[in-house]
């Protein structure tokens, strides 16, 4: 299935969120403001991509050991910057908090191919 989410605005629309809405970060130190907004945008994008074609929003269930979850694995090179090294399957449980995960390996690769600049900005 070809994704209908081709922009950040499409992701916001798919999640029923006004594309102009961002968290109020005015009370945060300036050095945290941009990163906080960027993380919010990435969370909306990933949620929209994971939920596309489903009847309800897909949320990772870390208590369900049978539910696969895929995560980006990045490499950094001084010559070329950040690149996606691969997409890895992680166990359902977590000992250090949840991660940004994808419902399928295909969604994870597609997200990087089409939105890599957004992901790189968050690294």
CA-CA distance, 87 to 90, in Å (whole number)?
A: 10
Please state the domain extents for the chain: 8-54+61-122
73-121 residue pLDDT tens: 878 888 878 777 777 776 655 554 467 899 999 999 999 999 999 999 9
Per-residue pLDDT averaged across 67-71, rounded?
89
Q: Which of 76, 101, 75, 79 is nearest to 88 (CA)?
A: 101
∠ Cα 114 2 43 (to 5°): 50
43-65 residue pLDDT tens: 999 999 999 999 999 998 888 88
Q: Which of 74, 96, 70, 95 is nearest to 83 (CA)?
A: 74
pLDDT of 7 reads 97
pLDDT of 98 reads 62
pLDDT of 122 reads 87
Task: Indicate the DSSP class of residue 23.
Answer: -
Contact by Cβ (8 Å): 104, 70: yes
CB within 8 Å of 41: residues ≥ 6 apart: 8, 22, 118
Q: How far is CA 2 from CA 25, 40, 51, 110, in A?
A: 35, 24, 13, 10
């Amino acid at each position: 299935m070809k994704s209908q989410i081709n922009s950040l605005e499409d992701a916001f629309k798919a999640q029923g969120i006004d594309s102009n809405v961002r968290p109020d970060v005015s009370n945060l130190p300036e050095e945290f403001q941009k990163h906080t907004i960027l993380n919010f945008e990435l969370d909306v994008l990933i949620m929209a991509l994971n939920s596309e074609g489903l009847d309800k929003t897909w949320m990772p269930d870390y208590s369900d050991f049978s539910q696969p979850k895929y995560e980006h694995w990045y490499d950094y090179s001084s010559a070329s910057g950040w690149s996606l090294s691969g997409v890895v399957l992680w166990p359902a449980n977590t000992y250090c908090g949840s991660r940004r995960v994808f419902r399928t390996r295909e969604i994870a690769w597609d997200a990087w191919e089409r939105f890599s600049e957004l992901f790189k900005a968050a690294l």
